[in-house]
Structure 1
């Protein structure tokens, strides 16, 4: 006989775990199926950890209202996870500094990007070169100006996942976790769903949530062409003697040199490390850390913050962001019976959008979506027309 529950979730990353935790809070019985040896070993383990409001280009359009809801929910959400897990997730709240290293880039920011920032529901502050270096003295002398995005946050995704996984596995909530188990099929009908597992077992449920990252298309045939991996490489560095945040902000720049584009992004950690990245390779599904990718990041970091390029390199990694054709998540019912909910395609915004995704999916599953939730769900609805969007910025 198949194992049964109210909701089966395919995927145990930050999105799947956030949804499981929210549903369990409401008394819903959940089976969480994840292929990893432990939860969060996919895209969540490779994330940089920025909770972004404006840095990503996809933040600056219709998705801004969804991001606003998630950003507003973040402090309370982390408190709930802390209470459930006993694991505190340190958060850097200084904001993001986006700088220009030449006049042409500053003009682009002022004429093309600033109007979009001003149309978003978040604050933005213009910085002179002196302002920027007063906030972060290690910035390059090449910096000609920039902008502070004060409402952006940053955290260590591995700590967040440790807290979420502990909350999910704590035993105080009706969640059964099947780790190192690969879902191989999903069938839906008017009475419920059934998930087939690689070992021959089955899980039957009233509803299913597909949060399988870049592999979600396996279970969402109507959206298979809209979903793809976006490979990103990054690595950690540690300033000599650093034992707490070595920078007060996370820092980003777009740099064009010798006909090549670089997107250096520095995210300080609470234990003294700095995560630096990041690369973008759409439709690349391997997690090999290449010398070329490391060198690309080093060049960008050396231009943005020369001192950081000399710091000792620690862990190196590659992750696969779950990309969508327009770089916005796909959240909503996707089958004819109203039994399967997609929660995928977050691109580089999985950590940013985890609280609101959990909230919206719980509302869909429980049939409790109010007018505001319906407005947000309309932005990310699975049946929207997909058109290519510019590549994400961070």
Structure 2
């Protein structure tokens, strides 16, 4: 019988066990990602080589505990890695975001054997890809895919969308309802018969994430590679960790937009006729605007760091309803500010640069398109609702991957 954990050979990956080394590696990769970022966005060229480097240098396993051979690094480092990379290319940042959310899911819900084998696969260089929510359902948590028992064994059939990372994955992970009607997460080593990953993502932003369709037709699933989803009553950090990464990506988008704005204002824009200054960089209204956006970004980054610190100070062996809710709220607060500043900075960039900033050759519009697209992942109005309900009425947020 085939061992369900005998995955195909992966990219040979290093293991990063020091926070500063991981941040240094992310900063180096981010510098490389700046080169060609505009062309990749405009021509929809996937950052495959950069993604392989992400895995090879060990960034893919930094959140895997050392007991399983991983880096065991802090959530603060995880957030900073995503922020740095996303400042250069947020599509490169978004591709592995679900990989880390799934690591957290395995840690929270997998059996000891599943944790050992799946996480060791990650450490060896395997990438986890998301078979995302379903496009034609009532809401994002409505699951129509089915994992049914047949004479040939378990078979999964369904169609997924928003499948970020699936095209570049070694292991596809997706949800389906079992015979008993309960949802479960299935881990499918790729390539697999019956799995079709379709490159049909056409969003205006995050254009090279390949966040499109996955079709599953009678796909064989090994019972050892399914993990039931927890009940709504069980405390979990999966949502908080996933959202921390989302917020870090948005903070990175804001930083990239601000960095490009400052450079463009200095080198390529001209002052408004009524400003009576020689350089656009001396326009007093523009200076005040930049001051406001810089302050907002500093505040967002501070909340991002605080949220990661809350997560770092929770003992996973003492996870409770109370501390998991506190983590979700701390991350939600960061997400509110990172969403706002990503949108404002990327829009102000074009205003500060003037009409010439919209020219195709500069590629500056990508910042707003990326910010607008990525921040739609989960509506920020429900973040502020959860925050208000928590502080005013002591109501804990709903537990799922989006809070």
Q: Give the structure-1-normalised TM-score.
A: 0.27
Name the larger-Rg structure. 2
More helix by share: 2
Q: Give the structure-2-normalised TM-score.
A: 0.26
